[in-house]
Amino acid sequence: MDKIVLRNMEFWGRIGCLPEEKSNDARYLVTVTLYIDEIKGAETDRLEDTIDYSKVFDIAKDVIESEPMNLIEYAAGRIAREVKARYEDIARVKVTISKPDAPIDGVFETMEVTIER
């Protein structure tokens, strides 16, 4: 199984249930891991024989930056669904969204969720 990883893409969006999370952009880090049975481009050196990760980047960006959402779980699920719908060669997709600036009174590195489909 081959994989392509887009690690810690940084986007600004409005995800959360609190009013201030709906009205102020916050930083989100998104990692998308694509699992492909065999990437043909490893043999052919042709872009059309692999997954164009700039398009996957655009999907993640559009989801995070589009409209306010309540849950990072929902955002991760949307990214996973859209990526799988666009590329039939993907056997599995894993999406992790980190919310390093979550409005929690305490010391932490990040809050994150991982969805795998």
> For 87-107, how does the pLDDT look when each residue is reduced to its tens digit (9 = 90+)?
999 999 999 999 998 988 999
Question: Could you tell me which of 101, 100, 90, 108 has the C-alpha nearest to residue 116?
Answer: 90
- Strand-strand pairing, 90-99 and 26-36: antiparallel
pLDDT of the residue at 96: 98
Question: What are the residue numbers of the active site?
Answer: 99
Q: What global pTM score does this model have?
A: 0.93
Residue-range domains of the chain with CATH: 2-116 (3.30.1130.10)
CA distance 112 to 73: 9
Q: Give per-residue pLDDT as tens, 25-68.
A: 999 999 999 999 999 999 999 999 999 999 999 999 999 999 99
State the average pLDDT for the chain: 95
